[in-house]
Amino acid sequence: MYAATAFIIMEAGDIMLPRLGLPDWTVTFIIILLIVGFPITIILSWIFDITPEGVIKTEPVQIAKKKETIPEPVKRKLKISDGLIALLLVVVCILLYPKIFKKDKFEGIRDPKGKISIAVMPFENLSGDTLYNVWQGGFQNLLITSLSNSEELSVRQYQTMYAIFENKRNVAHASITPSVASELALKLETKTFILGNILKAGNKIRVNAQLVDAETEEIYKTYEVNLNSEDDIFAMADSLSGLIRNYLEIRKLIEEYDSPAIYGTFNTNSSEAFQYFIHGWNTFMDLDQQAATEWLSKAIECDSGFISAYVPLLFGYLTTGNDELAKNLCNMAYKNRDELPLKGQLTLDYLHAYIFETPNDQIKYLKQILEIDELNSTYWKLLGKAYSKMYQYNDATIYYEKALEIHKKWGTNFRNPFIYH
């Protein structure tokens, strides 16, 4: 009961405390208190019993045996505590289900045609300069126009947005809170909206934008674009809309592919590069190394920082005996290591270790990657491969099976046959 209640408290705190404006360490502090309280609860529950007469100290075994009599067999009656335990278990299962099985945050936000519907709210002017008030609706209009070019998105048009604000006269641009924006978005029959603001420091202008779930007010993604003068405002709108459009299009591609191997590779901002990657991944898993090399090379040409594309391409080179190409590819990617996020850096460290270092080094980096992305079957498979190289087949089997278990939960197959060998 303690564990279940503690879990509910942690979940509630994680949701509520940030919204109350409390610092992040508050949630951590509560978690530490609950962890410290757990062994204390175990000790107290060992010493004391909850009985119909109240809380009493547990009697020594010898005294309890003396009092022991053979009772009449009676049917156990349900108690209030039974109901509480059942209720706690139900609540925990409800909270855990989306964390374990929810693969796509965007599930259910599409319209009947399969497109992601979006409403772009007017941007709030936080620059302190009233001259930028014109860009509150202006930037909104630019973003709507640019996003409307995507075949995957259904964007509520500027006239529609203007009309709904006219009908809600008590809402000023400065008072568009996430709750108000959610209400307006749902009236427009869209479950996603973009909320943003305009800031200025000296000659520099910054535009922030958030992609938000209208039903839960959960922020999917936060964007930040900077420029040096008002002349770049159109370029800024194009840049921001491109980031948002690519993000949503990639998410749709991931959902359509529906595989844990692809789901964990979302580290590019180019939907074109991601499409090439999917083609390359398919041909790589089908053991068509020539086609895989062509597709994956195109993905890297579109986005040289798309590290997930380097992994199958490097192994493709090694499989076909092009060791020098594999080394050159690894060295080329490694030059930009420091510019990448942590997972990208660790992936490059692993590739470098695979070619130039030992299996122990590979294992070290793979385990760090899996701490970040534990549902990516590719890295579990590679971890098994590293242990196989050291003839530690018991460990290798565990990690190969882990990769297959993930695919079993997803209802997919690990298509490359070498894992079964």
Question: Who's near 249: CB < 8 A, 6+ residues apart?
Answer: 150, 152, 271, 274
* DSSP one-letter code for 171: -
Q: Give the pTM.
A: 0.53
Structural domains in the chain, sorted by start? 2-69+77-101 (no CATH), 116-250 (3.40.50.10610), 259-419 (1.25.40.10)
pLDDT at 104: 47
Per-residue confidence (pLDDT) for residue 334, from 0 to 100: 83
How high is the mean pLDDT in each 10-residue block of the chain (421 residues)?
Answer: 84 73 76 89 82 72 56 61 75 59 50 74 82 76 81 79 64 67 82 84 80 82 76 74 80 69 66 85 84 90 83 86 88 82 86 92 92 84 93 94 86 78 84
Cβ distance 146 to 219 under 8 Å?
no
Q: For residue 52, what is the enclosing H or E element?
A: none
The per-residue pLDDT for 358 is 93
Which pLDDT belongs to residue 103?
A: 47
pLDDT score, position 376: 82
Rounded Cα distance between 326 and 313, Å, is 8
Do residues 27 and 17 make contact, with C-beta atoms less than 8 angstroms apart? yes
pLDDT at 101: 46
Residue among 155, 154, 149, 307 nearest 242 (CA): 149
